[in-house]
Structure 1
Amino acid sequence: MMTSSSVLRWCSGTAAAVGALAATVVLTPSASAAVTITVAADGSGNFRSVQAAIDSIAANNGVPVTINIKPGTYRGVVTIPATKPHLTLAGAGGTAGQVVIVEGHASGQTKPGGGTYGTSGSASVFVNANDTTIRNLTMANDFNEGANNLDAEQAVAVNTSGDRVQLDNVRILGNQDTLLVNAPSTSAVRRLYVRNSYVEGDVDFIFGRGTMVFQNGTVHSLTRGSSSNNGYLTAAATDINNKFGFLFWGTTLTSNAPAKTVYLGRPWHPSGDVNARGQVLYRGVTMGAHIRNDPWTDMSGFSWKTARFAEYSSTGAGAVINANRPQMSASTATQYTPTAYLAGTDGWNPIR
């Protein structure tokens, strides 16, 4: 099939995948017609793997591309390069749990060819492109801490460094450092909007210097079997020049850990960066009994009191108000809304 705006070159599949089609999608910058590609592990789609579908899209594509992923488990790292914006990954199952993208790399694990993955390089899914949407699927890092003995066991499920990224009705599963809200430099602002989703982990499992709104949905803290410290929800590294870091809005905090054993967060200063002054606000959040009465703590010699941590109008057994829990004033709270966090300089507003 050929049109004036796009060229689709289709070739028949191999004998091992009779009926499947391998596709190369070439999109010119002036193209106007959206493109849909189907991925199915059983060979009934255009590709068997998510990465193969992404690789088929020409760099600097000028039209939206939707990759529909049929139910199944897809093992292997998925990378959306910065040169392929306007891409949607959509799980085609009835629930987010029916489509699973998973890998099991950890920071201290040796890579093929030598060296280690490092924290940011351990991700199962890398979202490097702007204007990416991922919906109705699960992204997981299933590195088994108990079966390994590594000095560095950070294992990222999702690393987002693109701007105007949306995660909608997704499940993000891991243990330490599950979701990295990233940015390519301290001066770059990268925005992530997560709606109606579920993320779980234990240590610093939502972290980074990017800007994020986590609206509705659930943040679940996994127990580490401790009677006093079962981890930290956040480790924000927001640059001091960025007013907005992480906003949790109308979200529910749950856990299988004992009462008063989980921290809301601690301040991450990458490489000792003194200008990393994490900004985190829990607003209108329902907090389970697992949240500590002193929910903020120091990290790597940096005091949590020099960060920008606050709560506003939260409820639940874990929403205690005391001297260790800074509360944002009502007048200040008018400046810290989802639209304010996401607007940037271009007025982006994905909220619906």
Structure 2
Amino acid sequence: MVAADGSGRFRTVQAAVDALPADARDTTILVHPGTYHEVVTVPATAAGVELRGAGGRAEDVVIEHDNASGTPRPGGGTYGTTGSATVTTHADGTRIADLTIANTFDEQAHPEITNRQAVALKAQGDRIRVDGARFIGNQDTLYVNGGGDDAGRHLFRDVYVEGDVDFVFGSATAVFENCTFHALSRGSSTLNGYVFAPSTPPQRRGFLVVDGRITSDAPDGTFFLGRPWYAGGDASLHPEVVVRDTWLDAAFGPQGWSDMSGFPWRGARLREHGNRGPGALTGPGRPQLTDAEAAAATRRAWLGDWDGRS
């Protein structure tokens, strides 16, 4: 039990994680309502650990910190994108539910920091499930990555993610069901950002968004659904995003996808099907799945024999 006011066994989430035995499995860390300003790391030995908010709403329990990629480390150097994460899990089978994880790095207050990637959650591993949580940030909010062999499978249900540039990114095979992605305006009348930036390995599946909502406060036509991230310039990658049966805001225009770092978006697997709303457009810049392809784009097809329960 974690409670910032001292009424629980631990005052911080990290203290509860550190107290887990070396072979901890299937343990729930219950976090009482409050704001926890800390960096949390779940080690690979804590397979099956669950971080769960006890307030009934994700807004009641907030884990936050404010490191960016370019933030100086106390011992020298900078944190880098991975090191900027407020919460990082290396453990297979991690569960996260009913809480908020935020990276509160203030871009305007730190104009001297130009590397502004600021991760809320980095999920590294296989069979990671998230329910009813919120992830708040700007650039690179949610980092969904594979395991050591890039075999990571992640399932997100009823989740809210907020950001502006590449704010859902990584190499994982990730399914997002009934999730809301809120694309923040950066004040531009032409280009405000990108939602997805997958770095999918070849022969694997990337991101599947089903029955969701992609909203925005940006002007019409100034946001891209995403762009392919060929991490490290690795041309062998085959980035993939499928967005189906999802409501899209008018911030998304006729050109849904963008090139990235010299790699054309048309070389990646970036497709839609059955979307609705003012941003649900079709045409050369918005490639669509066929009906048969859409019928095959399912949680089972993406996650295989893992159904999200174990």
Q: TM-score range by the shorter chain?
A: over 0.9
Aligned residue in 2 for 1:134? 96
* 1:292 equivalenced with 2:253 (yes/no): yes
> How does 1:274-285 map onto structure 2 within 5 Å?
274-285=235-246
> How does 1:112-127 map onto structure 2 within 5 Å?
112-127=74-89
| Secondary structure, counterpart of 1:334 in structure 2 | helix
CA distance in 1, matches of 2:48, 2:238: 32
CA distance in 2, matches of 1:284, 1:236: 20
* 1:240 equivalenced with 2:213 (yes/no): no
Q: CA deviation at 1:86?
A: 1.4
Aligned residue in 1 for 2:155? 193
| Secondary structure, counterpart of 1:126 in structure 2 | strand
CA distance in 2, matches of 1:82, 1:275: 28
* 1:265 equivalenced with 2:223 (yes/no): no
> How does 1:167-186 map onto structure 2 within 5 Å?
167-185=130-148
| Secondary structure, counterpart of 1:339 in structure 2 | helix
| Secondary structure, counterpart of 1:204 in structure 2 | strand
Q: How many residues align?
A: 308
Aligned residue in 2 for 1:107? 69
CA distance in 2, matches of 1:167, 1:108: 28
Q: CA deviation at 1:109?
A: 1.0
Q: 2:118 aligns with which of 155, 178, 185?
A: 155
* 1:80 equivalenced with 2:42 (yes/no): yes
Q: Which amino acid letter does the alignment assign opposite residue 110 of structure 2?
A: N
CA distance in 2, matches of 1:213, 1:261: 26
CA distance in 1, matches of 2:299, 2:127: 13
Residue-by-residue CA offset, 1:28-68 (whole Å, 9 max, x unaligned): xxxxxxxxxx100011001000000010011122x421111
CA distance in 1, matches of 2:88, 2:22: 16
Q: CA deviation at 1:271?
A: 1.2
Runs of 4+ in 1 over 4 A off after TM superposition: none
Residue-by-residue CA offset, 1:225-271 (whole Å, 9 max, x unaligned): 011111000111101221x1001100001111111111000011111
Larger relative contact order, structure 1 or 2 (CA cutoff 8 Å, min sep 6): 2
CA distance in 2, matches of 1:214, 1:331: 20
Q: Which amino acid letter does the alignment assign opposite residue 350 of structure 1?
A: G
* 1:52 equivalenced with 2:52 (yes/no): no
Contact residue 150 and residue 201 of structure 2 kept, 8 A: no
CA distance in 2, matches of 1:120, 1:336: 30
* 1:319 equivalenced with 2:277 (yes/no): no
CA distance in 2, matches of 1:58, 1:182: 25
* 1:350 equivalenced with 2:308 (yes/no): yes
Q: Which amino acid letter does the alignment assign opposite residue 40 of structure 1?
A: A
Q: Which amino acid letter does the alignment assign opposite residue 78 of structure 1?
A: V
Q: Which amino acid letter does the alignment assign opposite residue 43 of structure 2?
A: P
Q: Which amino acid letter does the alignment assign opposite residue 349 of structure 1?
A: D
| Secondary structure, counterpart of 2:82 in structure 1 | helix
Q: CA deviation at 1:333?
A: 2.1
Task: Work out the percentage of aligned pairs sharing the same amino acid.
Answer: 47
| Secondary structure, counterpart of 2:296 in structure 1 | coil
CA distance in 2, matches of 1:258, 1:332: 32
Q: Which amino acid letter does the alignment assign opposite residue 98 of structure 1?
A: D
Residue-by-residue CA offset, 1:257-292 (whole Å, 9 max, x unaligned): 111111000011111000122100001011011112
CA distance in 2, matches of 1:195, 1:172: 13
In structure 1, stretches of 5+ residues that fail to align are 1-37
CA distance in 1, matches of 2:86, 2:249: 29
Normalised to the residue count of structure 1, the TM-score between the two structures is 0.86
Q: Which amino acid letter does the alignment assign opposite residue 300 of structure 1?
A: S
Normalised to the residue count of structure 2, the TM-score between the two structures is 0.97
Q: CA deviation at 1:184?
A: 4.2
CA distance in 2, matches of 1:267, 1:223: 21
In structure 2, stretches of 5+ residues that fail to align are none
